[in-house]
Structure 1
Amino acid sequence: MRSLILIPLAFLAATAVTASSTAHAQQAPDDGAPHGMVAIGAGVVPEFDGSGDVRPFPFATADIRWRGINFQVRGAGARVDVVSDPRLAIGPVIGPRLPRRDADGRIGRLPEIGTAIEAGGYIGYRLGGNQFGQGAVQLDLTMVHDISNTHNGLLATGSASYAAVQNRDIFLSFDLQTSWASADYSRTYFGIDQNGATASGLAAYTPGSGFRDVGGGVTAGYWFSERFGVIARAGATYLVGDIADSPIVDEGNRWQPAAGLMLSFRF
């Protein structure tokens, strides 16, 4: 059962990465060409939602500005800020939730789940911060819905990040997040119907809607030249509510860690 921790959850409030990096991107070129930052690397994520094991996974983030539009990659998802405002951000979001397959033990006897495509929108606002962004607090609310008829659910995620250190060469930020999930999502990924219970030996379980998790993390970066740098990230979410009481989580772990290291390039 290999599933991705979705768009805003994929890298645990990836806002912290992009917000920190944006402040260090190159000055907008006079010719109006795109400018910003991209980063690519690798790390580990839970093997599936609720798993007690982790697996390698590629990480990427990007923040590219062009003609007043801000294109951002967050984990496996993407979003676009269509508001030309240094503090307010609003726009669409889209990204995949990868299929659950090949789990070990009793969970592997449950029905597999295909890839979900989730789309929606977000709104963000930045408070405070000096000319480099140090001291700024970034608040984001994201809502996405499955548009692929995989789980037909709705998820909402709120996050807050704080830029503790930020200058031309280094940045350090901390973030917190929580997410809410509808009953359709919870029952698809954490529910067990009677047929699944018979096949797996796990108890039948029908979770409802409610808060999915709480979590936090830390992001640090260092620019060792005008163009190149590194970004490191570590964090975890803790499953709560009906989801945490699922037999799937009992077989795994309520703690869902993620960490990664990326090479970054600004232009």
Structure 2
Amino acid sequence: MRFILPFVGICTACLPSAIVAQEAAPSGVPHGQVAIGAGVAPEYDGSSDVRAIPFVLADIRWQGINFEFRGLRARADLVSDPRFAIGPVIGARLDRSGVDGPVGLLPEIDAAIEAGAFIGYRFGGDRLGQGSLLLDLTAVHDVSNTHKGLLATASASYAAVRKPNTFVTVDVQTTWANADYTRTYFGVPAGEAVRSGLDAYRPGSGIRDVGAGLSAGYYFDRHFGVIARAGATYLVGDIADSPVTELGSRWQPLGGVTLSYRF
């Protein structure tokens, strides 16, 4: 079984800022939280099988910049503002190789490096953020010449519970992808149709998926706690009609449980 580190795409705001524990943190000293555990994710885009994965989340604030890590994707909020956030994003999309069945007879796909930017704004909420609504838009482009595609994700996260040692966040999201991405991961070139036994298929650009999730965490003391995440996306549009998806599933689950440390 291969292991991967996924990007938690619908968990942009699943970690609360460690505001209570870090109110007295000395200036210039990094502070935040890191969560490491295990979870499950689809074997590949459109697969009905899941694989075991390491599950990694982190928020670290240093020198006025908030660094966020979600699996293989990282971003930096360059604006020291409790409401507004903007900055660069970089991450990896792993390869599709060693797959069983007809999909495994299609050309293998190398790992891709994607880079771009995000912008977000938080509405409402009390001092700890409870009751706040975070709207976020992220756009990334392949810079590794693997799929040459562009993806844009819009998400909304609501902080239903945000206490010093407890939080619950619910979120929804949708992703648009251009034709370069969809044809790389969900297309079946005419020259590969006979060898794989799949119908030739050439998808276009459009909405890739819609999804929702729930994140919850509890800290036992000042430093240690647990964070859990459960969510799924549902493939739509041309991607949903792909032979790759028809052999797999339109439902793409992602979840995990971590041990968290805040400092």
Question: TM-score under structure 2 normalisation?
Answer: 0.96
Q: Which residue of 1 aligns with 2:173?
A: 177
Distance 2:215 2:4 in 1: 20
Q: Secondary structure at the match of 2:95?
A: coil
Question: TM-score under structure 1 normalisation?
Answer: 0.94
- 2:142 is the counterpart of 1:146: yes
Shift of 1:25: 4.8
Q: Which residue of 1 aligns with 2:83?
A: 87
- Structure 2: which 5+ residue stretches go unaligned? none
Which letter does structure 2 place at the counterpart of 1:43? G
Q: Which residue of 1 aligns with 2:217?
A: 221
Q: Which residue of 2 aligns with 1:40?
A: 36
Distance 2:129 2:152 in 1: 27
Q: Which residue of 2 aligns with 1:71?
A: 67
Quick check: 1:217–1:233 contact (8 Å CA) kept in 2? Answer: yes
Q: Which residue of 1 aligns with 2:22?
A: 26
Distance 2:33 2:67 in 1: 10
- 2:10 is the counterpart of 1:13: yes
Distance 1:3 1:153 in 2: 24
Count of residue correspondences: 262
Q: Deviations over 1:137-170 (max 9, x none)?
A: 1111000000000000000000000000110121
Query: Match for 1:231 among 227, 239, 250?
Result: 227
Distance 2:217 2:13 in 1: 11
Shift of 1:24: 5.0
Distance 1:207 1:4 in 2: 27
Shift of 1:3: 10
Quick check: 1:3–1:97 contact (8 Å CA) kept in 2? Answer: no
Which letter does structure 1 place at the counterpart of 2:111? T
Quick check: 1:153–1:181 contact (8 Å CA) kept in 2? Answer: yes
Q: Secondary structure at the match of 2:259?
A: strand
Quick check: 2:182–2:205 contact (8 Å CA) kept in 1? Answer: yes
Q: Percent identity?
A: 63
Query: Match for 2:101 among 98, 105, 108?
Result: 105
Which letter does structure 1 place at the counterpart of 2:64? G
Distance 1:201 1:51 in 2: 17
State the Cα RMSD in Å: 1.6
Shift of 1:73: 0.3
Shift of 1:62: 0.9
Distance 2:27 2:118 in 1: 30
